[in-house]
Amino acid sequence: MAALWRNAHALSDGLVTEDGRRFRVVYPGRQSGGGGPDFVDSLLETESGDLLAGDVELHLDAPDWECHGHHADPNYNGVILHVVLHPRGRSASPQQSRMGVVVASLAPALDRLEQIAQTPQSGPDGKGRLDHEEIGALLDHADDQRFQAKSRALRAVRAIPAQGPAGLGQLEDRRDVGY
């Protein structure tokens, strides 16, 4: 699965999630060596051209998310895409933050990805690996996008009137989801 995901940026049609959203993989991220999501610092582009930066988790079957305890682990709250071969009817996987991460299957593109995975790694243009400068520029842009999203979220949280314990509870709940 990791070899397939490392080459997902070469899919000209991108990925379609189980709920019908399309994403283009700009940068698959760095494979994690320890606990937590399989790939970190991934960069995806939405149909509208917005960039999403975050982590990606890989499984053969979508229900493995819960079997592995990711739904209760805050280390998985930064996952922006759950990539599987077999969705098993799942369109989203629950996160500890009470949010859901969309599920996308690699199965429709499996033949193409296997062919790509057997060739030397290439960058998004298909001509070669990304150099450090290109990766840095992509990550800088993704970081700017994430900062702007967090700023919008913080403004929204500050707009919630604090009404005693209930107001504080709302704020604490929102902090749990990354605000």
What percent of the chain stands above pLDDT 70?
64
Do 108 and 16 form a contact (C-beta atoms < 8 A)? yes
CB burial string 91-114: b at 16+ within 10 A, e below: bbbbbbbeeebbbbbbeebeebbe
Predicted pLDDT of residue 123: 52
- Please identify every stretch of the chain with a pLDDT value under 50, giving residue numbers as ranges: 122, 163-179
Task: Give pLDDT, residue 117.
Answer: 63
Tokens for 13, please give them.
């049609």
Place of tokens 């709250």: 77
- What is residue 3's predicted lDDT score, i.e. its pLDDT? 84
pLDDT of residue 163: 47
- pLDDT single digits (tens) 124-138: 555 556 666 767 776
Give me the pLDDT at residue 145, please.
65
Contact 122, 129 (CB under 8 A): yes
Report d(CA 89, CA 170) in Å as an integer: 32
Task: Say which DSSP state 112 is in.
Answer: H
Note the pLDDT of residue 33: 81
Q: How high does pLDDT run on average in the chain?
A: 78
Q: Find how far residue 108's CA is from the centre of its chain.
A: 19
Report whether 103 contacts 17 (CB < 8 A).
Answer: yes
